[in-house]
Amino acid sequence: MNTLTITPASTMQTQMLQDMTQMRAVADAPVLPAAHANIGESTSSAATPSFSHIMSASLHRVDGYEHTAQVRQNAIDMGKSDDLAGAMIASQQASLSFSALVQVRNKVASGINDLMSMSI
């Protein structure tokens, strides 16, 4: 017979407070460490990739997912493969990555529109 262990409310409350304290510490922590660079120094583009480079790499990755899904689907259609689950997973991965890329594009476009509508 299984025994049921009852945890006192004070123990649960203490645990929840500790969790909340840890979450607050994480939320209050800086996202990136402070940069201690001189104004005259130039930063290397290899060390910090540009936004356009990151977007381009993401676009190529999404295109690769789409291509892989299409190849797997064509292999199923032609009877060369019977990995239907793999084809469906590749298709869903391509769809999800494309949706995420579209959301990023929409957020960037919205941000640009907000900046353009600001008065000087």
How many residues are listed for the chain in this entry?
Answer: 120
In Å, how far from its chain's centre is CA 109? 18
Answer for the pair 87, 72: CB distance below 8 angstroms, yes or no. Answer: yes
Residue pLDDT tens, the chain, 120 long: 566 566 677 777 778 788 778 877 777 777 655 554 444 555 554 578 888 898 889 999 999 999 999 999 999 999 998 889 999 999 999 999 999 999 999 999 999 999 999 887
Q: Helix, strand, coil shares of the chain as percentages rounded to 5?
A: 70, 0, 30
